[in-house]
Amino acid sequence: MKQSQLFTKTRKEAPADETSKNAILLMRAGYIAKEMAGAYSYLPLGIRVVEKIKQIVREEMNAVDGQELIMTTLQRKELWEKTGRWDDSVVDVWFKSALKAGGEVGFGWSHEEPIGEMMKNYISSYKDLPISVYQFQTKLRNEMRAKSGIMRGREFIMKDMYSFSADETSHLAYYESVKPAYMKVFNRLGIGEDTFVTFAAGGAFTKFSHEFQTICDAGEDVTYLNKEKGIAINSEVLNDDTLKSLGVTRDELTETKTAEVGNIFNFGQQKAEDLGLMMKDANGENVPVWMGSYGIGVTRLMGVLVEKFADEKGIVWPESIAPFKVHLVGLNSDDAEVKDFTDGIYLSLKEKGVEVLYDDRDLRAGEKFADSDLLGIPYRVIVSKKSKEEGKFEVIARATGKVRLLTEEELYADFDNNENT
């Protein structure tokens, strides 16, 4: 893409009504636009990041036999009343609306009840199981506070997966298999070393759950960590019983600010029993299905990555989810020969399958470099009159600041072979 064709523009000043670093930088760089508190639009650059996060999550969910679908966000009141979760005193984040035809409808904050109801059409026997399905969908939650940018929104993109098993053994085996699958996601995003499987409260889902908490100064959670033992406990459930069950003492734990990036819930058979999702077991008995629920906040992850990796100049994207791999910055654009030469470099990189954003705008070098820092694309390649004359290109790694001088052949080979670390 040519930068001159982007309708978005960078901004020097932070939005007056934003305090979170992730929203400030993403808005200044043109990745998102704020509609209202807790609700953001994702612009062309932002969409590219979101889709890459989704693809990483998709690949790892497929690897544990997840099947992708998409469900409606409209929720039937009667269905949620079966489990008692239509009540605002039980679930306090509902958005609800009256229907013109009569009755009331909710807007999806989660999908356990609808997916369980739908599965009645496909599950009748233990022979139909196991099944695991997931979706990427916009969730709507009527949060009282929406002050952390895209890390806590009233509208956000989430991956939610649901498992259905015939017995406790297979159910728990699948539940446990999701933990390393999630860690593969976070490793691919560059936050694996700072993300921990955390013992936590279940909220409106279950009594207890496992969260995936990432060390982050902007996080809203407090987690007590013992990195050596690999133990993490959310402050909500830090008590003597929890400490004893996990084999750790309070003085072995370090209090740490964290951001929740994922969670998993073990419903056992209770959710299916509430919904009437039954099956014939091997003995011919009619019994409830075993269920689990598994969530990852896609847009929240985007915000966490900005918070963790940004520096004083702007965003620093991990290469795995950056909107483009290369930011080609053309200088001396008033010189027709240099401009033609830079255009040729751009086309050659594109032909080799390199994702490249080409800054072909007629601006001063300083402005272009400042924008490049703000955008956070992993590698900046500078083309100028000097480059053309000397046959050398300056390649700068955004994350480390490492500078290399490459010939045109080395440049193509470097990105073609993915040896640009």
**Which one, of 379, 377, 380, 381, lies nearest residue 392 by Cα?**
381
Q: What is the pLDDT of residue 334?
A: 86
Indicate the angle between helix axes 408-416 and 336-351, nearest 10 degrees: 30
Q: What is the pLDDT of residue 177?
A: 97
Q: What is the dihedral of CA 90, 92, 95, 96, to 10 degrees?
A: 40
In a domain, 273, yes or no: yes
Q: Which of the listed residues 268, 283, 309 is the one where a domain comes to its end?
A: 309
- CB neighbours (10 Å) of residue 172? 15
Q: What is the pLDDT of residue 40?
A: 96
Q: Which residue is it, tokens 């272009």?
A: 368
Backbone φ and ψ for 191, nearest 5 degrees, come out as -120, 15
Question: Is the separation of the CB atoms in 136 and 108 below 8 Å?
Answer: no
Q: What is the pLDDT of residue 202?
A: 57
Question: Is the separation of the CB atoms in 354 and 418 below 8 Å?
Answer: no
In sequence order, the 6+-apart residues with CB closer than 8 A to the CB of 40 are 23, 32, 33, 34, 149, 150, 153, 155, 299
CA–CA separation, 402 and 144 (whole Å): 44
pTM: 0.94
Q: What is the pLDDT of residue 224?
A: 97
Q: What is the pLDDT of residue 204?
A: 47
Helices (H), ranges, 376-407: 385-390
Q: CATH number of the domain that 209 lies in?
A: 3.30.930.10
Q: What is the pLDDT of residue 203?
A: 57
Residues in the chain: 421
Q: Do 104 and 200 share a structural domain?
A: yes
Query: Which DSSP symbol is given to 35?
Result: E
Q: Do 139 and 7 share a structural domain?
A: yes
In a domain, 320, yes or no: no
Question: Is the separation of the CB atoms in 129 and 97 below 8 Å?
Answer: no
Write out the residue range of the structural domain in which residue 289 sits.
3-309
Beta bridge partners of 158: 137, 297
In sequence order, the 6+-apart residues with CB closer than 8 A to the CB of 317 are 49, 305, 309, 323, 376, 377, 378, 398
Q: What is the pLDDT of residue 419?
A: 46
Q: CATH number of the domain that 337 lies in?
A: 3.40.50.800
Q: Do 262 and 113 share a structural domain?
A: yes
CA–CA separation, 20 and 151 (whole Å): 9
Q: What is the pLDDT of residue 147?
A: 77
CA–CA separation, 122 and 171 (whole Å): 18
Beta bridge partners of 212: 197, 262
| Structural domains counted in the chain | 2
Q: What is the pLDDT of residue 131?
A: 98
Indicate the angle between helix axes 44-63 and 168-188, nearest 10 degrees: 140
CA–CA separation, 229 and 333 (whole Å): 57
Three-class SS of residue 175?
A: helix
392, two tokens: 């050398």
In a domain, 318, yes or no: no
Q: Do 298 and 347 share a structural domain?
A: no
In a domain, 14, yes or no: yes
Q: How far apart are the first and last CA of the chain?
A: 23
Question: Is the separation of the CB atoms in 69 and 136 below 8 Å?
Answer: no
- How do the pLDDT tens digits run along the chain, 421 residues long? 999 999 999 999 877 888 899 999 999 999 999 999 899 999 999 999 999 999 999 999 999 999 999 999 999 999 999 999 999 999 999 999 999 999 999 999 999 999 999 999 999 999 999 999 999 999 999 988 777 899 988 999 999 999 999 999 999 999 999 999 999 999 999 999 999 999 987 554 456 789 999 999 999 999 999 999 889 999 999 999 889 988 999 999 999 999 999 999 999 999 999 999 999 999 999 999 999 999 999 999 999 999 999 999 999 999 999 999 999 999 988 899 999 999 999 999 999 999 999 999 999 999 999 999 999 999 999 999 999 999 999 999 999 999 999 999 999 998 875 544 4
CA–CA separation, 386 and 4 (whole Å): 23
Q: What is the pLDDT of residue 420?
A: 45
CA–CA separation, 269 and 132 (whole Å): 16
In a domain, 179, yes or no: yes
CA–CA separation, 300 and 250 (whole Å): 30
Q: Do 261 and 112 share a structural domain?
A: yes
411, two tokens: 């440049």
CA–CA separation, 200 and 202 (whole Å): 6
